[in-house]
Structure 1
Amino acid sequence: MKNKKILFILHLPPPVHGASMVGKYIHDSEVINNTFDCHYLNLALAKDLNDIGKGGMRKLKDFYKQLKQVRLLIKSIKPQQCYVTPNAKGGAFYKDFLVVMLLKIMRQNVIVHYHNKGVATRQNRCFDNLLYKMFFKNLKVILLSENLYQDIKKYVKYKDVYICPNGIPIHENLPIVPQKEFNILFLSNMMKEKGVWDLLEACTILKKKGKPIKCHFVGKWSDIKEEQFTDEINKRELTEYVFAHGAKYGNEKDVFLQKTDVFVFPTYYNNECFPLVLLEAMEQGLPCISTNEGGIPSIIENEKTGYIIEKHSPKIIAEKIEYLMEHPQQCANMGKAGRKKFLNEFTLDKFEVRIKNILEDCIITA
């Protein structure tokens, strides 16, 4: 397959989010680059997280340049396969629709890899429905989880779908850091839809019950601002229980994971599909509490590696945390089961092999 050319049109950081990190893993993969003759084009137009979803003349000009680059690359390298990571809905989908249509006009074999969802939320709109029919015609699709097939079921037959869970690099020789307190960790962008206020309410419940918790929020300030969060902590009298640390990366982020007893991610973010942060927590042997959003139920095995709860359920979050506090052996066993599942299914090397196999199959069957 080394002489088989693939054009990867994907998101690369910045900004840093799940799709861009997976794009970087593919871009840097020896497995993939040694198997195919790979060429890459960055699909991202946003410069940072706050720029995602916004329009403007700068983005319009950059998109026009992107289309020209796609056309020139197709003519010059003549790929056997094109791989695209599109958006599922809204203005970002309309942009990616044009990219895929250009590839189809140039008679390219196309596979799309979804890191978001939302097709089903727009499929009953006449205009979007028409575009989706055109977009998905003769396409192969990679999804992160079986759960996500319902989102595109109207347009794509299951035989044209590949399931490929994400993976992340393994950190070798992880240190065990004993702690006196019971530490809870939230690690994501500080967004309302990531469940920040739900976890804060759960902490309020636990504090009123006299539970000795320490809850750490680690992430970049987004639609929740630092001053707003601090005011809320003060109002709830949680200054000795809840701590906000801002964005942390690399070793600094790992330190928080290594000092934690339970990871809580009560997301209801509408684009949530397969959060890499849950894989990071499982690698560190942490039981995870999260919601039934997107592909999360295929990551966490309920009551074995953690808990899947309904969205907007701070009372249940508090109950699960309290149970794990009072049953330390079960807490530890859940963490061990989660790490085992991570090593069996969600490592980067397994992800790279899955992507390689999918692309080989697409080329063979084209």
Structure 2
Amino acid sequence: MKHREILLIGILPPPINGQTIAFHSLSKELSCEILTLSGQRHENLSGFLGKSWTYLSVLVTLFFKLIRKKYVIYHTISQSKEGFLRDFPIVILAKFFGSKIILHIHGGNYDNFYATQNDILQKLILKMLTSANSIIVLSEGLKKMLDFAPTLNPKIKVVNNGLAWSASSKYQKIKRLPSNLQIPINILFLSNLIESKGYWSVLEAIEILVNQFKINIQADFCGEFIHYDDAIRFENASDAERHFFEFISKHQLSNHVKYHGIIDEQTKIELLQKAHFFILPTQYKNEGQPISIIEAMAYSCVVLTTNFRGISEMIEHHKSGIFVEYNNPNSIVKQFIHLIENPQIFEKISQNSLQKFQEKYTKELHLKQLVEVIKSHTKPQNAIDFHSEIAFQFQEKYKKSKQFKERYFVWTSLIDKYIYPDMSVLDVGCGSGIFSHYLATKKCKVTGIDGSEKMIELCQNNYAQENVTLSFLQDDLPFQNHLKYAKKEAIICSSVLEYLPDYKKITIQISQILNANGILIVSMPNQDCWYRKIEKYIFQITGKPDYFPHLKQVVKAEAFSKELSDLGFELKELQYYPNTHFYTKLFHYIGIHKKYTHTIFVGVYQLNSNH
């Protein structure tokens, strides 16, 4: 199997925000195909029509790419209804054609976004998220915003944001406050001027510091005035901008406050180098882990910000920054005065700020972690890797999937019929441990074995507190040394042998572990079923079912039973399943035998006493 190619889908600047900056940085790091959702592709269209044209162009381009090859697709997703309606078709289309999907959430509001949607949209959101192979969030604390869907937890990866450029150590010096009162203390607000980002509180704090405390301040505001629906003070961006300049004029701050608008990278670096304080008292609803704070830490600025979302893990109060209250300019003033009166504390925080940046938020570290997550999905998987990745979802299928519920019914019925209390049982390829646990509740002495460490970990976590005779072990299949296991009175093997290149070897080992007259219950994919004859063509078109690349064996029940007979096994009972699809029920209704319509057979075999 070849390594999959990578396809990045996202928005490049403009607009300039944390998400677009991060996507631009990643696009420069990886030599791969890119589909951008930004810009307009039709010279005669603008506004909504222009964006719609761009989006439809991306969907059409994506469609033709997907029918030619299966990718690892990285896509940054939105935390708004409009953004979701854009993201959903992209993800579902990619999933349908068998590409692997990595979703990146650049924010911390996904739980609130989900909670405010109607039932239909919530189901669609869950469909999109569960289609992903990995979901990247910005910090450990932000994992909890996906608690509304616990099955997503194994898919969540944490990758901190990082600086968009490699900061030169030449300019990463510990900041010191000016001892000469003629030299201004420099304050920087570097973010889009959104009301909930707190820029107005910064402006009001500057007015107090300048006019009441007579402190020599030079403040730089950088970013675009943007209006969001959480705004309270102003009706639109133009109104906010007008009041901003009116406040500066009214309070005679023209010599102390400068508005730069949108700035380029070089200007940004120059402002960061001269700034003593960086202030961002935010409660912006989509806030996650602000890149602007990372930029400030990279240049040793002392950060004054709110204890909000991912910022809580970026800043240690009075160590690598200072927490202030939201919408409270006096809180900013109080902390500012404390620091200029204690310059040694200011310098220590400046030093710690830079150190925290170097430990967690450099460009190199961010891209290394992000690329590792993406490239981990490009490598061909073996069956163990595949089942490790889906361990938690596999367990949940027994609760939600009709096919798995039928599988559970068939297997537990056979267990009840042929395996009795106090029997010693080996569950070979135990998976999530559901049948091991069922046997243990019947007072059997059970050992579950699986090749996947994650499956074994899941089993141990699920059943560690159970008052039953049940243990789980990780071991290779076929066994490296099957004789280390004590003789068993029964062995079960559910949907395992089909993933082994040589299943005959393990059937020999099983025959040597079983006691005389011991019971073997084993399932295999049914080669007589019509679906199995076209399964590979379905996979070539759709990339489904996911397990197909790992499927090594598809056999006829008669041939398989003959092989076991040669090892001394006698067939006691044979069943076919599942019968949950409408076409299997239809074919069975018109008289077609189950062996031609059902995809799996399970047989019960007894080892002859003279074996």
Query: Normalized against structure 1, the TM-score is what?
Result: 0.88
For the pair 1:149 / 2:143, whether they are aligned, the reply is: yes
The equivalent residue for 2:578 is none
Partner residue, 1:108 = 99
Q: For structure 1, which segment, 272-281 or 130-139, has the greater mean C-alpha deviation from structure 2 after superposition? A: 130-139
CA–CA distance in 2 between the matches of 1:159 and 1:235? 55
* Counterpart position of 2:220: 216
**2:81 match:** 90
Q: Deviations over 1:284-308 (max 9, x none)?
A: 1111011233311122222111112
Instruction: State whether structure 2 residue 171 is matched by structure 1 residue 194.
Output: no
1:301-312 correspondence to structure 2 within 5 Å: 301-312=316-327
Letter in 1 for 2:145: D
Query: Where in structure 2 are the equivalents of 1:185-334 lying within 5 Å?
Result: 185-206=188-209, 207-222=211-226, 223=237, 226-334=241-349
CA contact (8 A) 2:70 2:97 kept: no
Question: Helix, strand or coil for the counterpart of 2:68?
Answer: helix
Structure 2: 5+ residue stretches without partners: 227-236, 387-611
1:75 is aligned to 67
The answer for the alignment partner of 2:109 in structure 1 is 118
In 1, the alpha carbon distance for the partners of 2:367 and 2:5 equals 17
Structure 1 Cα separation of the partners of residues 377 and 307 of structure 2: 31
Instruction: Classify 1:158/1:304 alpha carbon distance in 2 versus 1 (closer, same or farther; 3 Å).
Output: same
Match of 1:16 in 2: 16
C-alpha distance in 2, partners of 1:232/1:354?
44
Aligned residue type for 2:27:
H
Distance 1:175 1:117, change over 3 A: closer
Structure 2 equivalent of residue 51 of structure 1: none
Q: Is the 8 A contact 1:144 1:273 kept in 2?
A: yes
1:247 CA drift (Å): 2.6
Q: Distance in 1 between matches of 2:172 and 2:58?
A: 45
1:134 aligns with 127
Whole-Å separation in 2 of the counterparts to 1:311 and 1:55 = 35
Indicate how the Cα distance of structure 1 residues 231 and 336 shifts in structure 2: closer, same or farther if over 3 A, else same.
same
What SS does structure 2 have at the residue aligned with 1:202? helix
Unaligned runs of 5+ in 1: 48-53
- Check conservation: 1:89, 1:117, Cα contact below 8 A: no
1:56 aligns with 2:48: yes
The answer to whether residue 39 in structure 2 is matched with residue 42 in structure 1 is no
Looking at structure 2, the residues matched to 211 and 46 of structure 1 have their Cα atoms a distance apart, in angstroms, of 48
Q: CA RMSD in A?
A: 2.4
| C-alpha separation in 2, matches of 1:187 and 1:312 | 17
Whole-Å separation in 2 of the counterparts to 1:59 and 1:240 = 41
- With over 3 angstroms needed to count, the CA separation of the structure-2 counterparts of 1:283 and 1:305, relative to structure 1, is same
Distance 2:157 2:245 in 1: 44
Shift of 1:45: 5.5
**Alpha-carbon shift at residue 2 of structure 1 (Å):** 9.1
Greater mean deviation of Cα atoms: 224-233 or 337-346: 224-233
Shift of 1:3: 4.0
**For 2:215 and 2:374, how far apart are their aligned partners in 1?**
51
Q: Displacement, 1:360?
A: 3.4
Residue 171 (structure 1) aligned with residue 167 (structure 2): yes
Question: How far apart in 1 are the matches of 2:90 and 2:171?
Answer: 43
AA of the residue aligned to 2:80: K
Q: 2:371 aligns with which of 336, 356, 365?
A: 356
2: CA distance, partners of 1:55 / 1:161: 35
**Are the aligned partners of 1:288 and 1:307 in contact in 2 as well (CA < 8 Å)?**
yes
Percent pairwise identity: 27
Report the CA distance shift for 1:91/1:175 in structure 2 as closer, same or farther (over 3 A). Answer: closer
- Per-residue deviation, 1:70: 1.0
Q: 1:77–1:104: structure 2 CA closer, same or farther, 3 Å change rule?
A: closer
Change (3 A) 1:94 1:262: same
Distance 1:340 1:285, change over 3 A: same
Q: For the Cα contact (< 8 Å) 2:92–2:131, is it kept in 1?
A: no
